[in-house]
Amino acid sequence: MATARKGRELFTILETSADTESSTECDSQDAPLNLSADVKWLEIPNRKPDSDEEEDDDDDEEEAAAADGEGENGVTSTAAAAAETADAASLIAGGGCNIILVTGSNGIKHDEEDYAEDCYYSTSTNCSDTNSNDSDIDFSDLEEEEERRSFFGFEEDLEEDCASPDFWGEPDQVIAIEPFSAASGPQHSLGDEADTRDYFRILFPDSLFEHMVEQTNNYALYRQRRVGKSDPHWHPTDVREMKAYVGLNILMGINQLPDTGMYWASDIFIGNAGFKKTMTSRRFEKLTQYLQLCDRESEPVRGERGYDGLFKIRPLLDVVENTMWDAYTPNRCLTIDKCAIATKSRFSPTQYMSSRPLRKGLTVWMLCDSRSGYCHRTKIHVGKPSDDEAAASLGYRVVSSLVRGLEGQYHHVFMDSFFTSVPLLQRLLRDGLYACGPTQAGRKGYPEVLRPRNVGKLCQGEFYQCQRGNLVATVTRDVKTVSCLSTNSAPGIVGISPGRQQPDTDGEGESDSLDGSGFSLGVPRPLPLLLYQENMRGVDLCDQLRECYQVGRPCKKWWRYFLWFYVNLCIVNAYIILRESRGGAPPAGFNGKQFTQRHFRVRLAQQLIGDYQGARGMERAARKRHADSPIEYGHRLERMSERSRRCRNCTNKGLRHESVFGCKICNVHLCRGGCFSEFHK
């Protein structure tokens, strides 16, 4: 541990590397979690720096001024803060340090113009506070008792007046972080011979395929009864055909074409022989038309008792939510964030998000692993809350429902500013969960002294902190002014990550901004912000894996998007389980160098399809076997019917000719002449 002094002691530098990470520790706490070892740490103690002999004469005057100007929250006075800031600024000018820590507010009032220019949260519309009109999310899958209990818990946490002047104090308290010792990772009993379909079956069991087959057949009969006539092109499906149907939809995400019919095109450069062999285009369209997950005849209408906005996908949610939670035990660090699903449907909860790349879509809240991206739990946005009080506790209820079952295991939860609030972090801390995330400076409970109008214009790397037990509030400036709340990081600790490599100085001497490896030091950031940047990536990792290969085709039925979303999510989770269970080794029979997600999806689709062939596929296989001698196997040109129909061979060539003759074995009409032999070849 090296101490930096220039004029007076201001901070302590803790240098860690890959070789000394295990031996170098901070005196006040263990090394921060999930941070790279090449970060230089600056610890700024919350004590008055050592004074020179010249400053000893002014101690009495400074103490008297501090006593007279003591603020409501125990922060230093305007004169003392200004003096300390001036001393630090002079030290920076001399090359000593570029980090300033002032406990509490500097007490300096600023003009409204300066405040408007520097206040990030005063003009941002990306995140909504507790009174925002964008908080229009409700969860119909939560029981009424659970929602009432979560809301009352929110009110109980607000009863501790976090906005009172005595709530926050100086950042001089020692925080206590219990170690995480729970078992984590994949939970299954598959052996080394397990393949992709076995891992997918953990999350999407065969019982779901059987349920899809049953409800699809029932819905086809239900539609035909409503129309009053039967569908001549429909016949009941089975489990093998349904698995093949899902397998074709998975392959469509890898081999993407603008129109579904192009997979069955006769053009050899566009059409796919595997699709043609599996089932016909008409059969695929009929399965898509009648595909169903619920009993439509028993669906309650809006206003009836037991109405559920997600009734059409409720059987899928009941199964998949349990399998995803049981298949993988959560690791130490978790992420809660929003996921958007692109849609062309007219589902009422569809949101318009102007600040995101996907501006219109369905919203799903996800709890993911920060390291692997595995999705443990999801919640769907289905509409606006019934009243303003429910909207105020929205983020509180969402997080409480997503982390249900993790109490007392000391996980570290990272979330964005939509959720982070003082009541929520207090509730999670009581339940044995630590949390960290940016917040909005205008929310109830955030320290008044750290609001932009009191902090003023910050320099890059400058930050202020307040503390109450494990709860630490931070305001800093990186690219923009950021407000943050955390319960898993000690105050006064700053990390500086290495920046770009600088050219040599050619003997002119090393610059103060360079370390021994020749890399320039980046902007110093407080520990809560560093932890957030390192661990707030779980949902992004899951989205990257999911968005690479979409499953399903666009349609006007909103529930279809959720069906294919969960199928795709199960594929991603199954790939993560396989990768971690086998240590990166591919399954048996794979000859490639690296088993990627694309290989996993292709292999899974092939195993779902198997050797299934529809009626047309078997006919084509028979024609191929008998192509050498069609007459020998009973193929002959004979009269098919009294009514002429289009010649199949001419139709394949884009011509229109009709004939009453054809081949009864192949069940096609053919022109008299060369069409018979040409078709059978």
Query: pLDDT tens digit string along 39-55?
Result: 555 565 554 334 444 44
3-class SS string, 210-258 = HHHHHHHHHHHHHHHHHHCCCCCCCCCCCHHHHHHHHHHHHHHHHCCCC
Structural domain of 650: 637-680
Does 480 share its domain with 572? no
**251 and 336 assigned to the same domain:** no
The pLDDT value recorded for residue 604 is 96
The band of 585, judged by pLDDT with boundaries at 50, 70 and 90, is: confident
pLDDT tens-digit readout, 602-657: 999 999 999 998 866 554 554 454 444 455 456 788 888 888 889 988 988 888 88
Maximum mean pLDDT: which of 169-183, 204-218, 582-596: 204-218
Query: What pLDDT score was predicted for residue 54?
Result: 44
Higher pLDDT, 594 or 92: 594
Cα distance between the two ends of the chain: 83
Q: Which range in 338-347, 401-410, 591-600, 672-681 is most confidently predicted, on average pLDDT?
A: 401-410
- Say whether both 435 and 571 belong to one domain: no
Pair 176, 238 in one domain? no
Residue at 123: amino acid letter: T
- Do 609 and 672 have their domain in common? no
Task: For residue 660, tell me if it sits in a domain.
Answer: yes
Q: Is residue 349 part of a domain?
A: no
Same-domain pairing of 432 and 527: yes
In terms of average pLDDT, the best of 151-155, 168-172, 500-504 is 168-172
Residue 393's pLDDT is 75
> What is the C-alpha separation between 497 and 485, in angstroms, rounded?
21
Sign of CA dihedral 575, 580, 583, 587: negative
Instruction: Indicate which CATH number applies to the domain containing 418.
Output: 3.30.2170
**So what's the pLDDT on residue 56?**
45
* Residue 102, domain member (yes or no): no
Query: What band does 326 get if pLDDT is binned at 50, 70 and 90?
Result: very high
99-141 per-position pLDDT tens digit: 333 333 333 233 333 433 333 222 232 333 333 333 333 334 4
| Residue 27 CB contacts under 8 Å (≥ 6 apart), including other chains | none
**Residues 445, 468: contact at Cβ < 8 Å?**
no
Same-domain pairing of 463 and 406: yes
208-214 long-range Cβ contacts below 8 angstroms, 24+ apart: 208/315, 208/316, 208/319, 208/320, 209/239, 209/242, 209/243, 209/246, 210/239, 211/293, 211/315, 212/242, 212/291, 212/292, 212/293, 213/237, 213/238, 213/239, 213/242
How many separate domains does the chain show? 3
Residue 560 has pLDDT above 50, yes or no: yes
- Tracing tokens 């191929």 back to the chain, one arrives at 624
Instruction: Give the pTM.
Output: 0.71
Q: Looking at the predicted structure, is the pLDDT value of residue 466 above 90?
A: yes
CA 256/CA 549 separation, integer angstroms: 9
The CA distance from 619 to 614, in Å, is: 9
In this structure, the answer to whether residues 603 and 475 fall within a common structural domain is no
**42 domain-assigned:** no
* Residue matched to tokens 């209990």: 149
Q: Is the confidence at residue 413, as pLDDT, over 80?
A: yes
Residue-averaged pLDDT of the chain: 74
